[in-house]
């Protein structure tokens, strides 16, 4: 089982879509037919995250590969329901069922994560996630920027213990609109820009 974890707004839904494309993987398939769904309502392993005791009763024979996603922390401070799911405990209980687990930490530009959390959640919880990193043993780090930039080339470089549908044509549709684009604003010409242009022989008029 691949466990995707990251701060709110870092790309959990994006990577969940990508890894759910392969037919041999039990993942967030319903997300493939809509723009967005809530973790607490639609993520296929949501009940197991809410109550780890249900892991024992889950039918792990339905497939060889699984992908689950969790945002950390989960909820909202201003609603007094913010909590940090215990990824290590979840992973340990899944492994007791004979299922190997691998943790992948999703990353995105820290400035964009901050702006996204302020815009959508009206609070920044990124520092809370950063404080959790020391608890994780040798996770793999995934980059939203590299996924958008290199697409299939990036996916081919990943070794996550699950099959990835690298040649699925839906990948291009999923990555057609870069979620970071709305946050990018061209800065005014910088002093160093002029120097670089001069040294590069660029005619600046």
Domain positions in the chain: 2-178
The whole-number pLDDT of residue 35 equals 82
User: How many residues are given for the chain?
Assistant: 205
The whole-number pLDDT of residue 205 equals 55
In the chain, which stretches have pLDDT less than 50?
76-79
DSSP code at position 26: E
Q: Which residues pair with 67 in a beta bridge?
A: 2
Q: Going by CATH, does the domain composed of 2-178 fall within 3.40.50?
A: yes
Q: Residue by residue, what is the 3-state secondary structure of 127-196?
A: HHHHCCHHHCCCCEEEEHHHHHHHCHHHHHCCCCCCCCCCCCCHHHHHCCCCCCHHHCCCCCCCHHHHHH
Radius of gyration of the chain (CA): 19
The whole-number pLDDT of residue 77 equals 46
The whole-number pLDDT of residue 168 equals 97
The whole-number pLDDT of residue 96 equals 97
Q: What is the DSSP string of 58-112?
A: S-TTS-SEEEEEEESSBS-GGGT--B---HHHHHHHHHHTT---EEEEEE--HHH
The whole-number pLDDT of residue 204 equals 62
The C-alpha atoms of residue 11 and residue 108 are separated, in whole angstroms, by 7
């Amino acid at each position: 089982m691949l466990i995707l974890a990251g701060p709110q707004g870092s790309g959990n839904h994006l990577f969940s879509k990508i890894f759910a494309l392969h037919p041999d993987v039990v993942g967030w398939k319903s997300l493939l037919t809509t723009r967005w769904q809530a973790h607490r309502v639609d993520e296929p392993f949501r009940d197991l995250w809410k109550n780890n005791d249900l892991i024992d009763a889950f039918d792990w024979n339905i497939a060889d590969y699984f992908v689950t996603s969790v945002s950390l922390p989960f909820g909202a401070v201003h609603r007094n329901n913010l909590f940090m799911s215990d990824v290590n405990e979840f992973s340990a209980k899944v492994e007791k069922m004979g299922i190997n687990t691998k943790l992948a930490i999703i990353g995105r530009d820290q400035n964009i994560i901050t702006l996204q959390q302020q815009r959508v959640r009206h609070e920044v919880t990124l520092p809370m996630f950063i404080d959790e990193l020391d608890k994780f043993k040798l996770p793999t780090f995934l980059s939203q920027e590299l996924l958008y930039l290199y697409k299939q080339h990036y996916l081919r470089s990943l070794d996550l213990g699950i099959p990835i549908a690298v040649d699925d044509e839906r990948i291009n549709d999923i990555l057609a609109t870069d979620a970071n684009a709305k946050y990018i604003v061209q800065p005014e010409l910088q002093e160093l820009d002029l120097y670089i242009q001069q040294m590069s022989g660029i005619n600046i008029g």
